[in-house]
Structure 1
Amino acid sequence: MLKLLLLQVLASCLWLGHSEVVTSFASCLKFFYGNTTPGNALEPQNPAWICQRYKNQYHFATLYDRTMRIPVYSAYIYSPGPGNRSTSWFVEPQLINPSFSKDMDTEISIANRYKVTPQQIGQSQAINQDYKKLQGLDRGHLSPSSHRSGNNNKWATFTLTNIVPQNSTLNKGAWKDYENQMMAQLTQGCTTTYVIVGAVPGNKYISNKRVNVPSHLWSAACCQTNTIRKTWAVIAENNKNQVQNLTLAQLEARLTTLYRKGNVSLFHSDCPR
């Protein structure tokens, strides 16, 4: 009996030690201003909290919807710089089994290592097959590679748990302008900029209704300058090539209406509304 109890305790310790897909962002709170995460109003029915890890290092944080198979949001620190885009796409091993590797990996590598099928990999997340033969849609990053510096940081954004089906015209047009030109302007004078980018689930799907197509994409930032804190926010409908500039308070109010799960709060109260 004692031996059985010890084995159960050991199994529990191993489970906790291996799991990066857990019930909080305790391992990666540094990506949120003041270590404060958005409230429960954004939480889906079947959530996964992912501390996005690549090459034994945390790169950003994602709240993932296992049912819709899209991220709710990704949080990161804005730090653009040189580096190459990844030629591979990754998935999250611990969405398959909590005892699998903490690091994101390719489907082929996971299949070979753990002897699992594509169906098993895709049970609670999107896989490459879901994004093939897209029409009018791109693989849209929430945490974009252009906001990171160095190969590993950029490559870590190429995980399908950070991707949504995004309108191609928006992705290559107004949203790209916001990510590149507008963010560069708005972050001038910021010492550290905390960003959260999210997607509102819509009524359309791809891949035989496996992956949701968001109705809206949104982004908010809170930065510290030498003298003050400042914030900004945008939202875009996922069928138009247009980005709307908002205050943080306006975005939170808009998301409260869109998600209909209670008042949305994205940042620590020190971030001005």
Structure 2
Amino acid sequence: MLGLLLLQVLASCLWLGHSKVVNSFADCPEFFYAGTTPNDALHPQNPAWICQRYRNSSHYATLYDRDRRIPVYSAYKYHPGPAKRPHVWWFVEPQLIGKNDLQEIERESVLINQHKFTLDQIKKSQAVLDDYDKKTGLTRGHLNPNGHMDSKENKTATFSLTNIVPQDKSLNDGQWNKYESKTMTEMSKDCTTTYVITGAVPGSTNVAGGRVNRPSHIWSAACCLVGTQPKKSWGVIAENNKNQVENHSLGELENRLTSLYGERRVTLFNSACPREQASLP
């Protein structure tokens, strides 16, 4: 009887350990309304759940595709503020390298010179600086843009390559920038809290010698709370080779993503966030 009890306890511990590994957003649920994350229809084959940490705090959450070396999505609270865009270097994520005690984004040079990692170790499951250098027609496209953050620390944390995809330059400088800087401001002006999830649909081509996937589409969805109640939601999507942004309701965007992800039903927010049309300016 004692042996059977010990086996049951061991099995329970193993299951709990597995659950903790899978649900690593448990350490930063505050970036998702009601703690509800997008469903697993978006999950890649080799995912990494990252609570994006900088200066002893988590600033947003990212689901990362280790094989394609791009984020699937980043989730955050929209809270622009007066802090200026930081003049910063780019960061990488030590948690993707392997077993180590580093839990915050860090510069490549620091990881190599101070912590004795090799560049090959860093490159194995994430993009590095060289992957984005001199890419004609492409830019480092933030999923969580620094302009949607308030403090210097929050803004600086967005400059991690785990929050970046190869984005068409005309789109990033044009209509997508207009959505981020103007449309979001107008849509969120009466919101107490705005939860945002911005993602990238994997494409059929790669850059950087085949290392980094070039997404076919960039998309974003928002759920606006007035007080503690969701009052409206909206979504946008853009093909990553055109300077054009399509406006959608949350429900329409989820339907579009369901089609793009091979008919695996996509849900992005808690069911309390309205799925009907929100009128974007």
Q: Same fold (TM over 0.5)?
A: yes
Tell whether 2:45 aligns with 1:56: no
Matched residues in 2 for 1:202 and 1:233: separation?
20
* Aligned residue number for residue 79 of structure 2: 79
Matched with 2:161 is 160
Structure 2 residue identity aligned to 1:240 = K
1:258 alignment counterpart: 260
Q: Which residue of structure 2 lines up, in the alignment, with residue 8 of structure 1?
A: none
Q: 1:68 is matched with which residue?
A: 68
Query: Which aligned runs of 4 or more in structure 1 are off by greater than 3 angstroms?
Result: 20-23
How far the C-alpha of 1:24 sits from its partner, in A, is 2.6
**Aligned-partner residue type, residue 211 of structure 2:** R
* 1:266 Cα offset (Å): 0.1
Alpha-carbon contact 1:21-1:95 (below 8 Å) kept: no
- Alpha-carbon offset, residue 219 of structure 1: 0.3
Structure 2 gap segments, 5+ residues each: 1-12, 276-281
In the other structure, the counterpart of 2:90 is 89
Asked whether the 8 Å contact 2:230–2:274 carries over to 1, the reply is no
- How far residue 116 of structure 1 moved from its aligned partner, in angstroms, is 1.4
Cα distance in 2 for residues equivalent to 1:261 and 1:41 = 9
Q: What's the RMSD between the two structures over aligned residues? A: 1.7
Q: Distance in 2 between matches of 1:203 and 1:28?
A: 32
Match of 1:45 in 2: 45
SS in 1 for 2:237: strand
Segments of structure 1 that go 5 or more residues without pairing to the other structure are 1-11
Paired residue type of 1:38? P
Percent of aligned positions that are identical: 56
Give CA deviations for 1:196-232 in whole Å, capped at 9, x if unaligned: 0000000111110000000000000001114752101
Structure 2 CA distance, aligned partners of 1:22 and 1:128?
A: 28
Please state how far the C-alpha of 1:99 moved relative to its aligned partner.
2.0
Aligned length: 256
3-state SS in 2 of match to 1:25: helix
2:37 and 2:150 map into 1 onto residues whose CA distance is 24
User: Within 1, Cα distance between the matches of 2:108 and 2:263?
Assistant: 34
Residues 101, 107 of structure 1: CA spacing in aligned structure 2 closer, same or farther, 3 A cutoff?
A: same
CA contact (8 A) 2:230 2:273 kept: no
* TM-score of the two chains, using structure 2 as the length reference: 0.88
Amino acid at match of 2:255: A
In 1, distance between residues paired with 2:147 and 2:52? 17
CA distance in 1, matches of 2:151, 2:182: 20
Q: What corresponds to 1:174 in structure 2?
A: 175
Deviation at 1:22, TM superposition (A): 6.1
